[in-house]
Chain A
Amino acid sequence: MTEMAPRMLERGLAGIFRSRWGVATVLAVLVLAVVGIGRLFADDQSGRPPVGAGSPAPALSVNPDHEDSVISPSPPPAPTTSPGTALPEAVAYAFAGAWVDHENVSAKAWRARLVPNSTTALSKELTGTDPADVPASRVRGRPELVPIGEGLVDAVIETDSGRLTLRLVAPEGRWLVSEIDWDGP
């Protein structure tokens, strides 16, 4: 028996490959098998929402002929400043200068210099911060403003040891720093 099996396999295979129809059939079966298996697995991995997540698009289009998004998303306008209040660039520059000035200063004094240009929420977030945690000592250059929305602007300031990014808001017409981010070298 052990010698019969390879013998029969050989005959069978040789028989198939002797005819060009046999070769074509083998190829066709292989292609169908692989495509079939592929489909089976693809279904599992197509990121289909799980049960209960809602079947996609029951064709309840509200207005198929027209677009309902913003017609032309214009870039955010340059920040405007109420008369008699400081420009966002000036607020950011003053804040950055006070922020980096962290040596030989008590936590209380350091924070007190930041408060005039901070939102109440940011002042609160800095409660308990040790100014020793400030990684920079000097501001290098003027803030570069990146408008995010009307009344929302980021100010990027290069320092001696990294980049300080301040987010400014103008809740009551007056620009204030609301967020501080830092990217080291």
Chain B
Amino acid sequence: MSLPGTRRVALLVALVATLALLCCGGGVSTVLLGGLGSEDNTDAFSTLGCGQGGPIDPEGKLPRIAAYGVEQIRNAAIVINVGSDLRLPPRAWVIAVATAMQESRLTNLGDLGAANDHDSLGLFQQRPSAGWGTPAQVQDPAYASRKFYEKLLTVEGWEKMSLTQAAQRVQRSAYPNAYAKHETVATQIVNLLADGAANAVGDSLEMVCAAGWQIAASGWTNPVKSIIGSGFRTPSRPTHQGVDLIVGRHTPIRSAASGVVSVVKCDEDRRGRQSCDVDGFPGKGGCGWMVEIVHAGNVMTRYCHMVQRPSVAVGQQVAAGDVLGRVGSSGNSSGPHLHFEVHLNNDRTSRGAVDPVPFMQQQGAPLGGAQ
């Protein structure tokens, strides 16, 4: 070998580097990208905190969010910053972002000509003729956001309403329930742009993580303070489609989020009997006295083994934290507990079920809390 010394060193170093990349390139890049929080990894942002870091600067570097461009995300950051500057709690930010998503897809809309809805303009489609401001003003994202928040504050009890109800009181739309479908993504956007602020207590300026009965800015809350028992689809119970929350008999069970009650029943046992007013036993089969609720974003939650007939009725609208019934041991159960399920895509079969523990964690309303 007649290579000069430095080139041989370079060759050897290159050889080591190549070997390292070939053998463990995936691991290296995962560690590097994961550690730096890549732009595509939106989850890395959302779990960072409960908003203590404050909203990010709309003029700074912005994360990318699927289906939304840089300008739209900048508008969302402005909406959030205005809410923060006005000293409004983070639930208001989620409501405002979801409203702008429905009204304008977070785009500062000008006059759309024949397609325009009367004189509606800007992020919130506010109408100058209805007294929202001049055309120039309502097309200023910061002005439009401030007007939205000012109107929201005049709605009594907006903090406790479902997102779509609160938005509707401000917007007066002809399709009042259209805001609900944006709640999930609006929550993710607020988490991403404001250091996990949707995980914080929704109606507080303290920016502390929601715990106990507190309702997170996402609109979700813990159904019972409990010890987490048997988990979702464990090796010993691969078809266990929910999580068992161990908690004393008669403890009130609360709705995990706002929604509409879709099922209230005494679930049949294996022999087709409906006997839920007595304690069940392992092997009896069935959910006992149960409630199912459909939420925004086609999410369903299910609550089983209540001690007596639930206190809600099918078709009833419930808010997060409303009491649905009380803990018991009816159906296939050997002791008082709440069997809690979460289903996506309005799919009430086992195909739609997801692990409630990480799901509730992502909503800023972690299960457990009784240790």
Q: Tell me, in angstroms, the Cα distance from A60 to B239 when the chains sit together.
A: 17
A132 CB within 8 Å of chain B: yes
The residue from B244, B292, B316 contacting A62, defined by CB atoms under 8 A apart:
B244
With A49-B366, A151-B315, A180-B175 already in contact, the answer to whether A41 and B35 are too (CB < 8 A) is: yes
A76 proximity list for chain B (CB < 8 A): 262-263, 348
CB of A54 within 8 A of CB of B227, answer yes
The listed residue with most B CB atoms (<10 A of its CB), out of A14, A63, A178, is A63
The residue from A62, A129, A151 contacting B333, defined by CB atoms under 8 A apart:
A62
* Size category, A interface: 35 or more
B230 proximity list for chain A (CB < 8 A): 57, 60-62, 64
Q: Tell me, in angstroms, the Cα distance from A9 to B267 when the chains sit together.
A: 74
Residue in chain A with minimal CB distance to B371: A54
CB of A47 within 8 A of CB of B47, answer yes
Q: Tell me, in angstroms, the Cα distance from A9 to B5 when the chains sit together.
A: 10
Per-position 1/0 for A40-78, Cβ under 8 A of B = 010001010110111111101111111111110100100
With A56-B357, A129-B173 already in contact, the answer to whether A70 and B286 are too (CB < 8 A) is: yes
The residue from A10, A17, A69, A127 contacting B5, defined by CB atoms under 8 A apart:
A10
With A27-B23, A171-B315 already in contact, the answer to whether A52 and B369 are too (CB < 8 A) is: yes
A sample of 30 cross-chain residue pairs with beta-carbon separation below 8 angstroms, ordered by A number, consists of: A13-B9, A30-B24, A34-B31, A38-B31, A49-B368, A54-B228, A57-B231, A60-B230, A61-B244, A63-B283, A65-B282, A66-B332, A67-B239, A68-B304, A69-B287, A69-B304, A70-B290, A70-B302, A71-B267, A71-B268, A73-B349, A121-B317, A130-B172, A134-B174, A149-B294, A150-B314, A152-B260, A152-B262, A178-B315, A181-B178
Shortest Cβ gap from A29 to chain B (Å): 10
With A64-B237, A68-B287 already in contact, the answer to whether A50 and B366 are too (CB < 8 A) is: yes
Shortest Cβ gap from B312 to chain A (Å): 12
Shortest Cβ gap from B83 to chain A (Å): 23
Residue in chain A with minimal CB distance to B313: A171
Shortest Cβ gap from A13 to chain B (Å): 4
The residue from A10, A56, A73, A128 contacting B172, defined by CB atoms under 8 A apart:
A128
B241 CB within 8 Å of chain A: yes
Q: What is the count of residue pairs linking A and B with beta-carbon distances less than 8 angstroms? A: 242
Residues of A within 8 A of B (CB): 6-7, 9-10, 13-14, 17, 26-27, 30-31, 34-35, 37-38, 41, 45, 47, 49-50, 52-58, 60-71, 73, 76, 99, 102, 121-122, 125-135, 148-152, 164, 167, 169-171, 178-182
Shortest Cβ gap from A56 to chain B (Å): 6
Q: Tell me, in angstroms, the Cα distance from A66 to B231 when the chains sit together.
A: 13
CB of A63 within 8 A of CB of B262, answer no
Of B61-69, B73-81, B138-146, B334-342, the one touching chain A = B334-342
The residue from A30, A67, A182 contacting B175, defined by CB atoms under 8 A apart:
A182
CB of B285 within 8 A of CB of A71, answer yes
Shortest Cβ gap from B349 to chain A (Å): 5
Residue in chain B with minimal CB distance to A51: B209
CB of A69 within 8 A of CB of B242, answer yes
Q: Tell me, in angstroms, the Cα distance from A111 to B168 when the chains sit together.
A: 16
The residue from B12, B241, B268, B294 contacting A69, defined by CB atoms under 8 A apart:
B241
B173 proximity list for chain A (CB < 8 A): 129, 133
Q: Tell me, in angstroms, the Cα distance from A126 to B169 when the chains sit together.
A: 9
Of B13-21, B213-221, B250-258, the one touching chain A = B13-21
CB of A30 within 8 A of CB of B263, answer no
B91 CB within 8 Å of chain A: no
CB of A132 within 8 A of CB of B117, answer yes
Given contacts A69-B302, A76-B263, A129-B173, 13 further A-B contacts (CB under 8 A): A9-B9, A17-B12, A30-B23, A31-B23, A34-B28, A47-B47, A62-B229, A62-B244, A62-B246, A71-B285, A76-B262, A129-B174, A169-B260
A17 proximity list for chain B (CB < 8 A): 12, 15
CB of A27 within 8 A of CB of B357, answer no
